[in-house]
């Protein structure tokens, strides 16, 4: 599995493509593309690399991670869209505040399926493990690919930081528990691709993250 990353919107949100090299199928994770230029950047990469969009996945449903959901579904019709059901209220609340955050043209989209802890998610010949990691958002999940020691982590763990918990549904103690049980149990060499900022590793954060000491 290859990971391609893009940074979109005013929140500098990381959108990821998870690419199965054997089949050229890919999953789009947390599309934050809002402007026409951002949307075109994502579409151009997919088209120029002859990728087939197989899945739309949300780690969670805060506005910066879902701005491009409808764009993906309208550009690649029939793409399954999966979200943990505990984050449906988070997703459905976005239209009520999108304008206030500077995104008046936000177009909502509804999931076509659910994510659950332990669920395998397949992209071609690549299989991801869903790990339930609430605290930043009630239905937050991360996607773990053991063969490449890779985690697509959303807003749970960052380089030398952790997700904020002051938004509706946030729970600081629960976030720390999720990090301890779902991320810090992984090998030190595991690369974490977060929802904001640079990639890091489990080992780096185990040794140097001030929020985990």
Read off the pLDDT of residues 151-204 as tens digits, 9 standing for 90 and up: 999 999 999 999 999 999 999 999 999 999 999 999 999 999 999 999 999 999
H/E stretch holding 154: strand 150-154
Check residue 104 and give its pLDDT.
Answer: 97
The CA distance from 85 to 89, in Å, is 8
Read off the pLDDT of residues 58-82 as tens digits, 9 standing for 90 and up: 999 999 999 999 999 999 999 999 9
Check residue 89 and give its pLDDT.
Answer: 98
The CA distance from 104 to 94, in Å, is 11
H/E stretch holding 162: strand 161-162
Residue for token pair 């019709």: 77
What is the value of pTM for the model shown? Answer: 0.98
Q: How far is CA 105 from CA 4, 81, 87, in A?
A: 26, 20, 22
């Amino acid at each position: 599995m290859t990971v391609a990353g893009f940074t979109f919107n005013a929140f500098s949100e990381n959108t990821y493509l998870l690419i199965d090299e054997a089949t050229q199928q890919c999953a789009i994770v947390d599309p934050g593309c809002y402007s026409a230029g951002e949307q075109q950047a994502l579409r151009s990469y997919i088209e120029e690399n002859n990728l087939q969009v197989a899945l739309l996945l949300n780690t969670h449903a805060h506005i910066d991670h879902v701005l491009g959901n409808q764009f993906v579904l309208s550009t690649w019709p029939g793409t399954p869209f999966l979200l943990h059901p505990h984050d449906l209220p988070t997703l459905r609340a976005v239209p009520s505040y999108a304008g206030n955050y500077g995104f008046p043209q936000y177009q909502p989209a509804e999931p076509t399926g659910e994510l659950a802890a332990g669920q395998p998610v397949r992209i071609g010949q690549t299989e991801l493990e869903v790990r339930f990691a609430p605290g930043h958002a009630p239905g937050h999940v991360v996607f773990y690919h053991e063969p490449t020691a890779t985690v697509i982590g959303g807003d749970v763990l960052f380089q030398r930081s952790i997700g904020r918990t002051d938004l509706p549904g946030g729970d600081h103690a629960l976030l720390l528990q999720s990090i301890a049980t779902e991320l810090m149990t992984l090998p030190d060499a595991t690369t974490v691709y977060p929802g904001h900022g640079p990639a890091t590793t489990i080992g780096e954060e185990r040794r140097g993250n001030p929020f985990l000491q």
